[in-house]
Each structure stands twice: as structure tokens, then as C-alpha cells.
Amino acid sequence: MTLPIKEIVLAPGEGNHLIIGNSEITFKVVGADTHGHLGLFENLIQPGGTTPELHIHRQMEEMFYVLEGEVEIQVGERIVQGQTGAFVLVPRNTPHTFSNRGTKPAKLLIMFCPAGEREKYFEGLAELLKEGNKPSREAIIDLMRRFDQEPVT
């Protein structure tokens, strides 16, 4: 295995940014940078910010590391009040979600293995939610399913 394709050095705050609702994603490394092996994104979540519904991934593991604030993370049946420094590994086919139920912004590092083109899910979601749009459930589920994400209903 050879990682990465080229060096990537980013200062704090650097990377491609997306606004998703009232949260912000910064891509630190995407699948194209690592032969699809992994992706690493920073997620700034405002209190009550835009977060995913309970879902699974069939083809990837997802990892969360709380950088700042407190993030509530559900993994399987367990709910973790993730303080700064908390880490959660979500195996494939395990229901999970996260949210900021606090009163201050929180920052979460998210890693996907393998990454594939995971960033395209977030780009699609940003497009669906831009300018306060409220997309149909069908549009959201279609986007999810194109990028290895299945809602748990």
C-alpha cells in the first residue's frame, strides 16, 4: 500500500470548505489523495447544527475524534457524550449518528476507511441544503445511497 499520492500539509483552518446547513466541513484529505484508502474531514457543528440521521455504512468504517466542545455520538445502542479527546470507531453495518446538543460550537474530526469519494456525499448534501432549501426525504435518501449510507428507520 502506498499512501499518500503526494504530500499534504495544511495549516489550521486550511482545506476545502463546505457549508451544510449551519455546520461547516473542511476536507483535510479525500480519497483521491490516498488511492481511496481514507478520508479525513473536520466538522464544525453549531449548537443544534445540521447532523445526520441514524444510518449505517456497508463498505466503510467511520471514526470520530472530538477536537473541541462536546458531541453526542450514538454508536449502536450506546450514546456517548464525547468531550474533547473522545474517540469512537464505528464498524461497518453499525447504526450511528452525532449531534451538538450543547450551547457552544463543537469540532469533530471524521475519518472514513476506505474513503472512496465520500466527499461527494457532503458536496451533494451542501447543494441540497444551500440557501435554506428543504429537500425531499427521497432526494436525501437517494444521495445517501449513492455514497454507501443507508438510513436506519
The pLDDT tens digits of the residues spanning 2-41 come to: 665 789 999 999 999 999 888 999 999 999 999 999 999 9
129 to each of 12, 56, 98, 132, 139, how far by Cα in Å?
Answer: 26, 21, 18, 6, 11
pLDDT digits (tens, 9 = 90+) for 35-66: 999 999 999 999 987 789 999 999 999 999 99
Query: Partners of 27 in the beta sheet?
Result: 16, 41
Average pLDDT value for the chain: 93
Query: For residue 90, which of 64, 65, 108, 68 has the smallest C-alpha distance?
Result: 64
Q: What is the pLDDT of residue 21?
A: 84
